[in-house]
Each structure stands twice: as structure tokens, then as C-alpha cells.
Amino acid sequence: MVRTPHGAVRGRYERGVAVFRGIPYAAPPVGPRRFRPPEPPEPWDGVREAARFGPTAPKPSYSEAFAQYLCDPAIPGDDCLNLNVWTPEPAPGARLPVLVWLHGGALTRGSSAVPVYDGRTFARDGVVCVSVNYRLGIEGYGLFPDAPPNPGLRDQLAALRWVHETIEVFGGDPDRITLGGQSAGAISAGVLLASPHTDGLIRRAVLQSGPPEVSERDKVRRMVRRMATRLKIPATAAAFAAVDRELLLRTQAEVGRLSSPVLGGPAFGIVVDGDLVPRDPLRALVDGDTAQGVDLLMGWTRDEYRLWLVPGGLLEHIDRLGAVAVAGAMARCHAGHEIPRGYRALRPDAGAAEIVGQMVTDHILRVPLHRLADARPATSHLYEFAWPSLRPGLGACHALELGFVFDSGDIPESQKLAGEGAPHGLCDEMHGAWVRFASTGDPGWESWNPTHPVRVFGDGAAYTAHGPRDAEYALWSVNPRTPPSRPASVPRAPGAELASAMRRLRRSVGARRR
């Protein structure tokens, strides 16, 4: 039993580790609290049982194409602003390092109950692990004239503050908190890192396949307006709050089905709000305005795009589209013709899908992380996950590394993406590096420097490569000290030809998905 500021909780021991599940860090976001910033939970009397995961945030289920690879449990209930704690020593005074984990899922799916994120392995190795639920989709990231923006991000901040104020009674050290996440969770962690509201809360950060970024407000508004049009309601928080939640989720899934990292399009995202997010977070971190001295562990998978394109056969479809798909990617990346020509020269045998996928991945993910490392070399460590899945066609795709980071590769939920027989040695290497980083700030290889060291986790023993992506970076003409919003050599807006190609690509992919 542990006493938190709002009441006592009783966890349970599982294989030598104490785990507390479903602890509320904020009040249920229902009624007048819906679409509003989080409020503290009501204190409770007696002892609250914390044996089971708490409710997950409302979300649509994955499509059949993605559900064969990804697991996303849905637990009903209103009290979805909860977290879980795994600790080897639930008592004050242990002062163990802490990892706070934010799940991915494009800010529309995912939860802390995904079995791959089992924090037992971190606690087994001396790190207190905390995983967090936060509001998703329209309720977490809708943009309305009658409600504050970014409530889902504010949920994460509330959880981080709860950890800082409470984790000592679970054996954690509030001065050694590592905030980590993958995909949308990494984007969120990077944005929080850049926020003035987190000063003193974060000692280290792990950004897996997601850079600090914000969305254009109009892009989020278009998502809200399209949902409002289908629902025949005003695009206000009050109107959305009156809609049946299941209908809301179905509408959200239908409106967002053509949005993806490759295709772009209207989608939910974090926006600059003048408060929690006062400016572009990547620029703030590169300029050194915030998070000075915070250690960074950042990286990507070799074939991120394959999770976005392989389900449903989109990879083969884009290969057939050929030049139209490449032109669409140019529009997506605001790129001139020299960019795809450069990728073609580096990959003369690649099909259109690989050119498109790697180009978009570099534009939205690798180049920003490279830029951030250039600005903070002494405290940055970079990695690439290059082991290919045993499932056909996936390669080293987006999210594949999670089972290795959490050393949960043997469970069925990890095998949905990795296949059966993932190498245990690779689990040991990656998980051990993350444990070392959370504990000391040094994952076990040299920090960023002019030789651009990247730790490669693939077949065989991990090794350090120097400048493995430098040829691609050079194509974008990025100046890390004054990062442009798009490559400096490219006009501000794509031409009519590229915009037309993007529209044709969307229509073609939309027809394929139907």
C-alpha cells in the first residue's frame, strides 16, 4: 500500500515487482470537464485497489488491415486520466531513476494498457516505470472557438507533475525523470520538453520515431469542420459534447481514414497555443530557449514507412503509380525535383514506394532529429533500428522496436508485428541501453559529434556507424542553427503540377482503400 496526495492505493507483487495500475492523476473528463483542461482528482477515503488497468480514452478501433499487426485494448469507463507504476521498491528513500512513457497512436489510438508496454522489465532492472493514458482524437486535440486547445497535451503535463510530486513514495527519484515516447508519444514528449511549464520536471528524454513538432491550426480545423459537416452540427466544443460518443468515434475514423504520415491531410495534432506551446518546439529547442542540459536519446527505424504502406497493399499500389506517387511526395514535402532525383541516385534499384517512403520519413522525422542533435551534440545520442520483422514485407518498420525496448518480444502482442523468433540478444542490447540512459544519461555509445555517430541495432551485435544518413541529409540543405520551416532550396509552396499530383495520389489511394 502506498499513500498518494489524493488517497491510498494498493498494488500487487508480480514476479518480484510491485505494480499499481489505474491510479487517477486527474478527474474524469466528462460533463463540464469535457474538452477542458484537466482538473485534480477528487480525494478518496480508504484504500483504492490498483490491480487492474484503468479505463482507456475513447478511441476508434484499428481497421482490419492494421489490427493484424497492432494491439490496442479498449477498457470502458469515464475515469480515463490514469497511470500505472511498476517499481522494484515501493518505499521512500530508494531514489531510483524514473521512466515516464507516453504511448503512440497518431493522437487518436493507443493506451497505457497495450501489453507491449509492460513496465515490469524496467522495474526488474532498477528503473521505476510509469505509463500514462491521455485524451485522444477530437476530445484531446480538437480545435474549437469555445474551448482551450491541446487538452490531451495538458493531460500529459498533469501526469508529469503528478509523477514529480508523488513518485518518491513509490521509490522513484523526482530529480531523475526520463520522459519518453514513440511516434505521437515522442512528438508529445518533445513538445513538453520545449514548454516553459516543464522546467525542472524532466532530466532526460527519449524520442523514438517522432520529432518535436506542431500541426498547422488550419489542418486541425479542417478535421473538425469535416466531422461537423458529417454530423450536421456547428464546429464547437458545446455541439460536439452533445453528440453520442460512439457516433463521434465512427465519424472521426471515417473522416481521418485517408490521413497518414505519407499522404498528409487533415489530422489531429498539437498546435501552438501561446501558453503551454508558446512557439514551434523544434525551433525553441534548437535555439536553446528551454531544456538546457537535458539528455536526449533519439532515433528511428530503417523502414518506418512500411507500417504505413504495407497494410492493405498500399505499398504495391504506390509502386504502380510510379511518377504520380513521387510527385505527390514532392508536394507533401514541399520539395523540388532535385530531392527525388537525389534519392533515386542513392537507391537506383528502388521502386516508387521506397523512394516516397524514405523521402517522406526523412522530411518529417530524421532531418528534424538530426537538426536537434546538431544543436545539442554533447547531450544527444542517436540510434537506428535496422532488424527486419519476420512478418512478410514489413522490414524494420515503424513501432517494431518497441518490443525490444521493453524486452517484451516473447509476448503474442509483440509477435503480431515482429513475428515469432525475434532475437533475445537484440532485446537485451536495446533494453539495456534504455536502462543505462534512464539511469545515467549514457546509453553506451558516443554522443553526437561532427562524425555523426548512430548506434545501429540490427542483425548481429549492435555497432556504431558514422554518418550513415549524411547523403540523404545533404539533399535537404538543412542549416541546423537556423532551421527553416522547409528546405531552404525549395520554393515556399509547391507548384500546381505537384499539388495536382498530390490530389491524384489521394484519390487513387482512397479508391484502393474502399
∠ Cα 478 315 65 (to 5°): 115
Give me the catalytic one of 112, 131, 183, 195.
Answer: 183
Give me the catalytic one of 139, 168, 304, 472.
Answer: 304
CB 400 within 8 A of CB 393: no
State the SS3 of 114-148.
Answer: CHHHCCHHHHHCCCEEEEECCCCHHHHHCCCCCCC
At 424, is the secondary structure helix, strand, or coil?
helix
User: Residue 213: is it exposed, middle or buried by C-beta count within 10 angstroms (0-12/13-18/19+)?
Assistant: middle
Give the position of cell 469542420. Answer: 225
φ, ψ for residue 345 (rounded to 5)? -65, -35
Does an H or E element contain 360, and which? helix 352-361
Annotated catalytic, 398? yes
Return the DSSP state at 311: G
∠ Cα 211 181 13 (to 5°): 175
State how far the Cα of 308 lies from the Cα of 241, in Å rounded to an integer: 31
Record the cell numbers describing residue 416, joined without a space: 503480431
At 293, is the secondary structure helix, strand, or coil?
coil
Record the cell numbers describing residue 460, joined without a space: 548481429
User: Residue 3: is it exposed, middle or buried by C-beta count within 10 angstroms (0-12/13-18/19+)?
Assistant: exposed
φ, ψ for residue 225 (rounded to 5)? -65, -40
Give me the catalytic one of 398, 431, 439, 452.
Answer: 398
Annotated catalytic, 304? yes
The partner residues of 9 in beta bridges, in order of sequence, read 2, 48
Give the CA diameter of the chain.
67
Record the cell numbers describing residue 421, joined without a space: 523468433
State how far the Cα of 138 lies from the Cα of 227, in Å rounded to an integer: 9
Residues assigned a catalytic role: 183, 304, 398
